[in-house]
Structure 1
Amino acid sequence: MSGLGSRLFRGLGFWGGRVMLSRFEKTSARAVRANRNTLVKLLEANSGTEFGRKYRFAELAADPTGATYRAAVPLSTYDDYIEFVARMEAGEQDVLVADELLFFAVSSGTTGAPKLVPTTKKHHGFTFKYMGTVVQGVINRRLHRQGPSERGVDLMTFSGGQQMSSGGVPIGGATAEAVRRMARIVPHLWNSPIEVYTLADQPSAWYLHALYGLSNRRNQFVEAVFAPHLLEWLRAAEARWDELVDDIENGTLTKNLDIDDELRSQVMTLHRADPGRAAELRAAVAHGFDGFLSRVWPHMTHLMTITTGSFATYVPALQRYAGDLPIYSPSYGATESFIGVGLWPEHPERYVMATDPSYFEFIPVEHFGEAQPSTVDMEGIEIGRSYELVVTNHAGLYRYRLGDVVRVVDRFGEAPVIEFLYRRGTLLDLVGEKTSEDHVAFALSGLEGLVSPDELVDYTTRVDVDASPPRYVVYLELESGTVSNTELNRAADRFDQRLIDANPTCEGFRRNGLLGRPNLAVVAPGTFERLRTLIASGDLPTSASQLKVPRRVDDPRQVQLMSEAVIETV
């Protein structure tokens, strides 16, 4: 498509975003009925499946309130679907869902072994609907974009590979599949050619994304799925800045890349010497990299990445590079369902729930431990209370306990406005204290002056039941490599107090000698990159851009890797 065609394409996206945002707002005004209608349509569409016949979906669809459905169908977890999924892998139809499977998404496995999640065209389409239109409408309205956007830098990848099930159904990470199916429109949205997104070597991919991105002074955004990936790319660009600028100035390509001759030749075909741009780039960082993005790209309006929950830990370091540019957290979702849209960039923790990706239920926090707790739907939620989300989606999951715990902070029309708190599978719970991912992130955020937020590369935790009393181990990788033992001791004391402030239950157990002081352990540079490599080397293809560092490591190989990398501990 020509340059004019690309502008027309982006223009359609601009106006489509305005229309779809308006529709989303109107639907939110009647969210309770809209979400119940989603359930009725799901039950009708899947009434002929094996699961639908067993639970008499055709009859349940006659109740527009959803109460009969909630009473008849039990709550479920992934273990309840393992046998069904195995049959679907073999190619069997009409087991859980009537629609043909598009692929099996591989969950990131943050809270356990990777899971194969059935994905249909309709289920998959909600990500495109909301990210491609509604979110663009928010950007246009809230981030002062006055017209169709220019291109930007995007850091997704589909290098995780793809397998086929025995029945011929593709298996791959959901993010990778999204990009793979967008291949034809990538050149009209982002700088890098599609081949860069297939690179298995992440440092080489980071370099090429930076090379193409820095060459274009008109970029308006930089985006990555998760905040740590965006931060990692920015740090990589800073570390290789001179190399990048030299390549832009001379039209060359460094030999320090793990790419084949074919891609190198293609890059050289598209890459031209630009001494003027190189001079601009050198001037932009003459006094350092703080706030350099708006100097490098004068037309930039925002950074976009998910900063939900523990990812908020990375915001201070991102803000160092972003300066006054807003960091927009556009959406909240999981492999099993798209969930909500961030309508207010100034409140990145808040998301308005969508009504059509799934029928949503809510388990009150006091009933989490029950096997079949009672639930409420969007009508029954109360502002200020916390709930575990339950989804019935368009791909064969029925009353599925997602494990995500959210707090309802408001309503937008009738739609719940929620904040993600933590994922139940990542709780540190040695003696009944139930420390959450959110509690740990809060404690880490208070180490400024001891371990600066923009020094933190990444972190994870484990429980040490061999210690007496048992304790948490918090592994930290720092940009500077390490800190003195004295500083680390002070940081450990501060972390301990902040953790008690966040989760007062810990205090009683600490006082009674049932729970030990957390152990802070600084690991060698590059440890978390090795951890990601280890996780990605599993049996199932996992996209690098989808891969989240687990906030708790239990796998013996992961624990060994982290333990052997410790260079300072208290």
Structure 2
Amino acid sequence: MFNNSYVPGLDKGKGLYFLFVKSESKTSGGLPARPVLTSYYKSDHFKRRPYDPYNVYTSPNEAILCSDSSQSMYAQMLCGLLMRHEVLRLGAVFASGLLRAISFLQNNWKELARDISTGTLSSRIFDPAIKNRMSKILTKPDQELAEFLVGVCSQENWEGIITKIWPNTKYLDVIVTGAMAQYIPTLEYYSGGLPMACTMYASSESYFGINLKPMCKPSEVSYTIMPNMAYFEFLPHNHDGDGAAEASLDETSLVELANVEVGKEYELVITTYAGLCRYRVGDILRVTGFHNSAPQFKFIRRKNVLLSIESDKTDEAELQKAVENASRLFAEQGTRVIEYTSYAETKTIPGHYVIYWELLGRDQSNALISEEVMAKCCLEMEESLNSVYRQSRVADNSIGPLEIRVVQNGTFEELMDYAISRGASINQYKVPRCVSFTPIMELLDSRVVSAHFSPSLPHWSPERRR
């Protein structure tokens, strides 16, 4: 593993990685349809992998392969605590996943400490495979460790909690590029400023590249494309919008791997060994340089994606449809949504979608809708979002309830005035459908008259795919 040239001694300890399988469905032909990591974890390549001193996990396979995320998380956290002095690195696939693990510890440290103190496993674990495996790990009481955990976790200030509990941790192994960059300040708070290593760039479609400087700052991460993973082509990206990216893929519009230019942005197009032909991944990349002849790219963003907490991706058209569907619930009252915007709230764990609504009633004023109806609107919006979002809400618990914040009448006019004061053209101004700029957030939040959350989980089931 190339990280050892930057962080020596990784073969002397273990990695505490929070890894999970996700629910899967079947195609109409009976084939399993599931995320690539779930497929890998369930394969013999993972379950029967040869011993590698540089890749020893604290989490047993039985915990990783448990489809119940709560039991899986509990067992993985318990193992990480029991082996706390052996842990040299903490990780998860996404930054949000690692923060979810910290939140889980905040909510369950008393029960975990009790298990360690008594040497017995909590009754919340009923998966036979996990119970059998944990009986060989949690073999005796450890009162000293239990008292240590109580002393550390009972404090109100959790700054640097990662290095307090796992003092030998050298870095965090998480993806913090793209939408995950929003979690960097929170990770720095909990880790006491540990380095964050972004080692690879991949998706379910293909493995794309690696970061040859894994210990660099997150803002400096560039991935070197590995040309043997697939056939890579690039569609020049138009900064004025995604119009160029919507053009048909032909020989004249695509740029080959060797011909990309430093500083320019492209949409990634791949042809894979598995059968994808000129598949548009939807990632916008900027060329930062070359390693020998292989180009290096900085991940900029997902094309057209407005909101993302973890693996979910909600675009403008989908958000618009969700708002329209929800607003029908009070249309008969003569009330309508006249403007809206959104943002991904990640200060809470798990993060959740926040939608700002400005309402207009029959009397041309900001309408008042009952709490019950607004709660139904929140749930209706969630029902209108894609299956990945709903799976994250229902099965993975990685996204919290959607929130609608109703703002005062005239708020979006103030938002436009603010944009114009900063140089925007009054003729070309469009309400941003997603916001993140702090002064805009402060303006919106200062005008909130009521806030409402989804009262229950949206419908989701591992439906058969066509």
TM-score bracket for the superposition, by shorter chain length: 0.5 to 0.7
2:271 maps to 1:388? no
Give the CA deviation at 1:364.
0.6
The answer to whether the 8 Å contact 1:496/1:517 transfers is: no
Q: CA offset at residue 526 of structure 1?
A: 9.3
- Whether 2:18 is the aligned partner of 1:155: answer yes
Once the two structures are superposed, residues 320-373 of structure 1 have per-residue CA deviations (whole angstroms, 9 ceiling, x without a partner) of 211121122221111111112122332334212112101211111133131135
Letter in 2 for 1:357: M
1:173 counterpart (25, 30, 35): 35
TM norm structure 2 = 0.66
Q: CA deviation at 1:524?
A: 4.0
Aligned to 1:78: none
- Is the counterpart of residue 297 in structure 1 residue 166 in structure 2? yes
Residue 418 of structure 1 pairs with residue 297 of structure 2: yes
Query: 2:34 & 2:403 partners in 1: Cα distance?
Result: 40
Q: Please give the residue correspondences for 1:181-192 in structure 2 after superposition, counting only pairs within 5 Å.
A: 181=43, 182-185=46-49, 189-192=56-59
Separation in 1 of the partners of 2:169 and 2:434?
45
Counterparts in 2 of 1:513-532, with a 5 A limit? 524=453, 530=457
Question: TM-score by structure 1 length?
Answer: 0.55
Structure 1 unaligned spans of 5+:
1-135, 431-442, 446-450, 542-570
Q: 1:201 to 1:305 in 2, by over 3 A?
A: same
CA displacement, residues 237-293 of structure 1 (integer Å, 9 cap, x when unaligned): 1111121112112112222x2524564354234312212222333344464321111
Deviation at 1:510, TM superposition (A): 3.5
Aligned to 1:69: none
Query: 2:91–2:173: 8 Å Cα contact kept in structure 1?
Result: yes
Tell me the residue number matched to 1:211: 78
Could you say if the C-alpha distance between residues 506 and 540 of structure 1 is closer, same or farther in structure 2, counting changes exceeding 3 Å? farther
Alignment of 1:8-87 (within 5 A): none
1:458 alignment counterpart = 351
Does residue 539 (structure 1) correspond to residue 464 (structure 2)? The answer is yes
Shift of residue 319, structure 1, vs aligned partner: 2.0
Partner Cα separation in structure 1 for residue 51 and residue 119 of structure 2: 21
* Alpha-carbon spacing, 1:516–1:359, altered in 2? closer, same or farther (3 Å): closer
**SS of residue in 1 equivalent to 2:258:** coil
Residue 371 of structure 1 corresponds to 248
Q: C-alpha separation between the residues in 2 aligned to 1:242 and 1:417?
A: 46
> How do 1:261-272 residues align onto structure 2 when only pairs under 5 Å count?
263-272=130-139
Of 280, 284, 293, the match for 1:401: 280
Is the CA contact (8 Å cut-off) linking 2:60 and 2:76 kept in structure 1? no
Distance 1:335 1:227, change over 3 A: same
The 3-state SS of whatever aligns with 1:420 is strand
CA shift, 1:172, in A, is: 3.1
- Ranges in structure 2 where 5+ consecutive residues have no aligned partner: 239-243, 307-314, 318-341, 362-377, 383-392, 436-443
Does the 8 A contact of 1:145 with 1:301 survive in 2?
A: no
Taking the TM superposition and a 5 Å limit, the aligned residue runs for 1:431-446 are: none
CA separation of 1:261 and 1:396: change in aligned 2, threshold 3 A: closer
Q: Name the CA distance, whole Å, in 1 between partners of 2:24 and 2:146.
A: 35
Q: Could you tell me how far 1:298 is from its partner in structure 2?
A: 2.0
Distance 1:517 1:310 in 2: 13
1:319 aligns with 2:184: no
Q: Aligned AA for 2:212?
A: L
Partner of 2:328: none
Shift of 1:209: 0.8
Question: Secondary structure at the residue paired with 1:368?
Answer: helix
Residue matched to 2:217: 347
Distance 1:294 1:517 in 2: 35
Measured in 1, the distance between the counterparts of 2:67 and 2:24 equals 9
Higher relative contact order (CA 8 A, sep 6+): 1
Alpha-carbon distance change, 454 to 510 in structure 1, aligned in 2, over 3 angstroms: same
Q: Which amino acid aligns with 1:157?
A: F
Matches within 5 A, 1:93-112: none
Q: Which amino acid aligns with 2:188?
A: Q
The two structures, once aligned, show a CA RMSD in angstroms of 4.4
Alignment-mate amino acid for residue 403 of structure 1: G
8 A contact 2:106–2:153 mirrored in 1: no
Cα distance in 2 between the residues matched to 1:177 and 1:338: 14
**Paired residues of 1:187 and 1:194 also in contact (CA < 8 A):** no
Amino acid at match of 1:315: I
Offset from partner CA, 1:412-457 (integer Å, 9 cap, x none): 3322221222222525557xxxxxxxxxxxx969xxxxx8x63463
Q: In structure 1, the residue corresponding to 2:112 is in which secondary structure?
A: helix
**C-alpha displacement of 1:158:** 2.7
Larger mean CA deviation between 331-340 and 456-465 belongs to 456-465
Residue 235 in structure 1 maps to residue 103 in structure 2: yes
Contact 1:360 1:390 in 2 (8 A): yes
- Letter of the structure 2 residue corresponding to residue 184 of structure 1: R
Aligned partners of 1:201 and 1:258 also within 8 Å: no
Q: Residues 372 and 163 (structure 1 numbering): CA distance in 2 closer, same or farther, change over 3 Å?
A: closer
Structure 1 or 2: more helix by fraction: 1
Q: In the superposition, relative to structure 1, how do residues 456 and 201 fare at CA in structure 2: closer, same or farther (>3 Å)? A: closer
Q: Tell me the distance in 1 between the aligned counterparts of 2:180 and 2:269.
A: 23
Is 1:510 matched up with 2:423? no
One-letter amino acid of the structure 2 residue matched with residue 457 of structure 1: P
State the AA in 2 paired with 1:254: S
Deviations 1:182-241 (A, max 9, x none): 012398721222221232221221111110110002111222112222111110011111
Give distance in 1, aligned partners of 2:192 and 2:465.
39
CA–CA separation in structure 2 for the residues paired with 1:504 and 1:178: 50
> Number of residues paired by the alignment?
368
